[in-house]
Amino acid sequence: MAELDLSALSLPELQALQTAVSNQYFVTESMARQESEERKLRIREAAGQLQALLGGEGTEPAMDSIRGVLAFGNEAIAANPGQAVVLILHGMAQLTSTTLDLAKTISEL
């Protein structure tokens, strides 16, 4: 940012500038704090979403979880790869979103 020459401003202009900067700082800080809190909430919620996506141990064959799809067996998955791709992409999107939230939150520490 270029250095500003404030020496030509009058006292009322400086006061108006100071007020504008203070107000903008408050708004920007508030938005950053809110974004951080929303990210932390998404991270807390992600654990349950990822567990649901993974599915439980011994899950019956189903298309709603990774373990459910794996329960169909390799032959069935190989014969129907398009159906598994949807779940894979959903899982990748969830993992990517969670990883981004984690990275942003950790970078704030």
63 within some domain: yes
Residue 81 has pLDDT above 90, yes or no: no
pLDDT digits (tens, 9 = 90+) for 6-61: 888 899 999 999 999 999 999 999 999 999 899 888 888 888 888 888 899 998 99
Domain of 55, in residue numbers: 39-107
Integer angstrom CA distances of residue 44 from 50, 90, 102? 11, 19, 10
DSSP 6-68: -TTS-HHHHHHHHHHHHHHHHHHHHHHHHHHHHHHHHHHHHHHHHHHHH--TTPPS-SSSHHH
50 within some domain: yes
This model's pTM is above 0.75: no
Amino acid (1-letter code) at residue 19: T
83 within some domain: yes
48 within some domain: yes
| SS3 call for 93 | helix
31 within some domain: no
Note the pLDDT of residue 19.
96
Q: How many independent structural domains does the chain possess?
A: 1
